[in-house]
Amino acid sequence: MILSYASLLSSVLFVMRSAEFDRSEVLQNAMQTFMEQGYAKASMQKLTKATGLHPGSIYCAFGSKKGLFLEAVNHYHEQKRMAFSQLFTTDKPVLASLSLFIDNTVQECMQNTCAKVCLLTRSLNEIEGQDPEIANVLADNLKQLENALAKQIEKAQQQGEAILPDNALSLARFFTMGIYGMRTYAFTHPNKAILEEMGKQLLRSITTD
Amino acid sequence: MILSYASLLSSVLFVMRSAEFDRSEVLQNAMQTFMEQGYAKASMQKLTKATGLHPGSIYCAFGSKKGLFLEAVNHYHEQKRMAFSQLFTTDKPVLASLSLFIDNTVQECMQNTCAKVCLLTRSLNEIEGQDPEIANVLADNLKQLENALAKQIEKAQQQGEAILPDNALSLARFFTMGIYGMRTYAFTHPNKAILEEMGKQLLRSITTD
DNA sequence: AATCTTTTTGAACGCTCATTCAAGTAAAAT
DNA sequence: ATTTTACTTGAATGAGCGTTCAAAAAGATT
């Protein structure tokens, strides 16, 4: 059978029946499931329940459980990137934003929802030695956030804020390490006062007296 | 049938045919499997292969996969406790031992074997929100190591070493957080020079200039 | 209204999971 | 040597896993 040019165009290129679900909403729910359960324990059954999608639809839209996870990770990263950007888009000193950033992290750690974990660091811990592709994506995303931090620290130094004159990237690394550590530490001591004190120490460790 | 007193004693209390495997060796192998694979991914099949025990023997000796894991965790903790104790049983200043402790951690992070991960922190990250009993055991073990660290820091302060005059437990918390952070950080940057620099910064952050 | 195309649906697949248990084996006691 | 007891063995179990696919439903086109 021969298709007309119009029908070829319309059916192949232009008007395709679009999926009925809201991709962003699906990813948000999948993301939460992965944050609550971890990668291995977030079964397809749980994911279908959380997203409202049937297995076939998930496989059609995301290819595999891993594909869904990688997109959920991207969704998470996007949100964190935006939150970070917003936090530092201000007239306040960088150090003030840095302090707020720590406060936010402490607050996250003290939540009783899935928000208490960082999808990136938790998944990286879980996936180590199992799936190098996933590990690379997670590590890359974390490095991007670290680099954004380094930029802010460099800016603070240039603007003469009370920050150590060390290499900005080196300070960012140490700060990042502290944040990672706080997230694990919060599992052993889910105590706001303790985490806040550690947060203050962390900020102090990159500033001048 | 009536048993003689001797036979009752001997069969019930004294001579029981003992299991043929070396429990410590089995735990060592199980521990390595859990370190390599994580808890969820360390299947009974892998564990039987690693330990040389058949499923029935594992269930007889440890009750369940969880039971085996908890004993493997205890085995790990025991080893770390001993290594820690040995590191600080010396005439050198505490700060020197603390520096060695960091060096050891960096070296562990840079290994390409299962030794690159800390079974306690990795499992705690994985198990969060899944099994409170396991989470408590892991957290308790980590707290014990933290307390041992606090004692050493207190000792250093009393002996007039160049350490901050802050509360010793508070310094130990920060130091511990740094170690936890380094372990996650190593997954994103498996780079010895970077980890060593961060280790130096960590030590500096609890010492006086 | 009829046809074509795409998405949705969910039962079914093969596989692996943790766990069990009856049969086999060997040590200890008689 | 026989009996008793305990451990070892590994096939079998049912449940759950990630994934597939043919049938049903529905939007787009004619």
B160 touches chain A (CB under 8 A): no
Contact B173 A139 (CB under 8 A): no
Task: In whole angstroms, give the CA distance from residue B35 to residue B118.
Answer: 7
CA→C1' distance for A1 and D30 (Å): 14
Contact B185 A176 (CB under 8 A): yes
A193 touches chain B (CB under 8 A): no
User: Could you tell me which chain B residue has the CA closest to the CA of A130?
Assistant: B37
pLDDT per residue of chain B (209 residues) written in tens, 0 to 9: 333 333 334 334 445 556 667 899 999 999 999 999 999 999 999 999 999 999 999 999 999 999 999 999 999 999 999 999 999 999 999 999 999 999 999 999 999 999 999 999 999 999 999 999 999 999 999 999 999 999 999 999 999 999 999 999 999 999 999 999 999 999 999 999 999 999 999 999 999 97
Which residues of B fall within a CB distance of 8 Å from A202? 174, 177
Output the CA–CA distances (angstroms, integers) from residue A108 to A9, A60, B15, B23, B167, in the order listed.
Answer: 49, 34, 56, 42, 26
Inform me whether the pLDDT recorded for A10 exceeds 60. Answer: no
Query: Can you tell me whether residue A163 is helix, strand or coil?
Result: strand
Using an 8 Å Cβ cutoff, are B26 and B1 in contact?
no
Task: In whole angstroms, give the CA distance from residue A91 to residue A140.
Answer: 29
DSSP string, B167-183: -HHHHHHHHHHHHHHHH
Task: In whole angstroms, give the CA distance from residue B30 to residue B28.
Answer: 6
Give residue-wise pLDDT tens across range B15-45.
555 666 789 999 999 999 999 999 999 999 9
